[in-house]
């Protein structure tokens, strides 16, 4: 009887936890993976706040390549896109206190996210270095990576800067982030500029299509609003 009771409790706990791992925002349902997500008021607007959950996915400074550039995001449920255009406004702050002194306000978007989160591509920002006095640091403001095989450290070591670039952005300001996907090419447009700020000419991801997710990493207090899918196929 006790064993049966424990089994029922376990099943009910699983159901409750599964239900708790979604959030509805701007008319869409998002699944939550290794982040804490909530609807908050910022500057008089209701926005989505996302922070990495260090309890569910610990951070190891001595093993960066294994514990950063992970599926730490909220993912649009029941969405499958190969090519298209999507846009979101994002604002980044560094947590106080920060669990990582090197945090740069990592915030961005993952796309072509497959069903079990084992493969996706991403473009993210490091707003804290966007206006650094050090040009080398500035050159790392925008980052592309493909999970799981091509994280930032491997791309930086092998590509000589092809998958990173500079952008004039900063912390604690709304940044309009628009991505255009077409086969192997991804173009990033920041703050409604006519010309793209960043181009990935040969993406390295395994997934041909998938969902879109709003992504943050270590030490980031991330805010999102006005998410739109402008074109999809």
Q: Where is pLDDT greater, at 206 or 19?
A: 206
- Please state the pTM of the whole predicted model: 0.90
Above 80 in pLDDT, residue 1?
A: no
Query: Cβ of 230: how many Cβ atoms within 10 Å?
Result: 11
Average pLDDT over residues 99-128: 97
- What is the average pLDDT across 26-32? 97
CA 120/CA 105 separation, integer angstroms: 21
Burial (CB count <10 Å: 0-12, 13-18, 19+), residue 57: middle
pLDDT score recorded for residue 160: 85
pLDDT of 111 over the 80 cut: yes
Per-residue pLDDT tens for 158-216? 998 999 999 999 999 999 999 999 999 999 999 999 999 999 999 999 999 999 999 99
In this prediction, residue 79 has a pLDDT band, given cuts at 50, 70 and 90, of: very high
Query: How many other C-beta atoms can be found within 10 angstroms of the C-beta atom of residue 136?
Result: 8
Q: What is the mean pLDDT of residues 144-159?
A: 96
The average confidence (pLDDT) of the chain is 92
The bridge status of strand 142-147 relative to strand 164-165 is: antiparallel
Q: Residue 135: which H helix or E strand, with range? A: helix 135-138
Specify the pLDDT at position 64. Answer: 85
Q: What confidence score (pLDDT) does residue 17 get?
A: 36
pLDDT at residue 138, as a whole number: 97
Predicted pLDDT of residue 2: 43
- Percentage of the chain beyond pLDDT 70 is 91
CA dihedral 50, 97, 117, 122 (to 10 degrees): 80
CA 177 to centroid of chain Cα atoms:
12
Residue 140 scores a pLDDT above 70: yes
Nearest Cα to 231, choosing from 120, 82, 100?
A: 82
What CATH number belongs to 2-232? Answer: 2.60.120.560
Per-residue confidence (pLDDT) for residue 158, from 0 to 100: 95
Q: Is 45 left (phi over 0), alpha (psi -120 to 50) or beta?
A: beta
The whole-number pLDDT of residue 16 equals: 34
Q: What is the arithmetic mean of pLDDT over 70-84? A: 97
């Amino acid at each position: 009887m006790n064993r049966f009771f424990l089994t029922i409790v376990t099943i009910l706990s699983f159901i409750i936890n599964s239900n708790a791992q979604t959030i509805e925002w701007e008319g869409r349902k998002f699944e939550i993976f290794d982040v804490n997500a909530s609807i908050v008021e910022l500057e008089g607007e209701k926005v989505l706040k996302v922070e990495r959950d260090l309890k569910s996915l610990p951070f190891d400074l001595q093993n960066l390549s294994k514990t950063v550039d992970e599926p730490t995001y909220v993912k649009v449920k029941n969405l499958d896109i190969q090519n298209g255009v999507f846009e979101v406004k994002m604002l980044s702050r560094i947590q106080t206190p920060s669990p990582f002194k090197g945090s740069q306000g990592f915030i961005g978007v993952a796309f072509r996210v497959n069903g079990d989160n084992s493969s996706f591509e991403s473009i993210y920002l490091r707003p804290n270095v966007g206006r650094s006095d050090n040009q080398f640091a500035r050159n790392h403001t925008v980052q592309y990576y493909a999970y799981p095989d091509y994280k930032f450290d491997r791309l930086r070591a092998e590509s000589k800067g092809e998958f990173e670039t500079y952008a004039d952005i900063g912390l604690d300001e709304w940044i309009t982030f628009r991505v255009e996907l077409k086969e192997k090419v991804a173009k990033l447009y920041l703050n409604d500029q006519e010309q793209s700020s960043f181009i990935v000419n040969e993406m390295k991801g395994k997934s041909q299509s998938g969902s879109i997710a709003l992504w943050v990493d270590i030490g980031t207090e991330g805010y999102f609003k006005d998410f739109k899918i402008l074109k999809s196929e």
